[in-house]
Chain A
């Protein structure tokens, strides 16, 4: 059984090892000439403003919550979609009810301004 996953496991291992090898090879082989310009955060880019450790806005949280709820919805709809023809009308109506219930949540968020960015 597990033998069927050996290619997958090999791919994960090879990907991991390659990433580590390249990282250290670049560190080891690369020339290292540090100047003041090279040490800046964005070499030949903009000069960074402020600190990276600022608080995020709560707007990001609202987006994440909407994402998580509709992610779960898709997880439930996917097994149904593969079996659409064999499951018949009862399951179809049940799924429609499910989608309508979640659409009520979506509508609530829309009305409350959860999707407004400003």
Chain B
């Protein structure tokens, strides 16, 4: 049973990491930590893509990982700029205090 690492092991690991990331997004109120939890979730999806790609012998998954990385980098640049603008405006990074758009 413990001789080889099958595809399911990687998928379960990715699922657990994704869930940890989602717990982080839902429980923390610090915008930067929420942002890092989103990175965790993106990375677990990357792990899923790469494990499918290498177990099926198809490089499409690996190409997708490139695109996901580019999207994550753009998201990091704009998202953190939003956090900066928010801090400048309200002197806080607590997402609960950001309710100007709330009706």
Contacts and interface: CB of A to CB of B under 8 A. Distances in A.
- A–B contact via C-beta, under 8 angstroms: yes
B35 to A, nearest CB: 14
Contacts of B76: 68
B66 to A, nearest CB: 7
Interface stretch (A20-28, A43-51, A70-78): A70-78
Contact of A72 (B70, B81, B84): B70
Interface in A61-84: 61, 65, 68-69, 71-72, 75-76
B77 interface: yes
Interface size class on chain A is: under 10
Interface size class on chain B is: 10 to 19
5 contacts: A68-B77, A71-B73, A72-B69, A75-B66, A76-B66
Given A61-B80, A75-B69, 7 more contacts: A65-B77, A68-B73, A68-B76, A69-B74, A75-B66, A75-B70, A76-B70
Contact of A69 (B66, B69, B77, B84): B77
Q: Is the interface of B mostly helix, strand, loop or mixed?
A: helix
Interface of B: 66, 69-70, 73-74, 76-77, 80-81, 84
Contacts of A104: none
Contact of B81 (A65, A71, A75, A76): A65
B84 A58 contact: yes
A69 B80 contact: no
A47 to B, nearest CB: 32
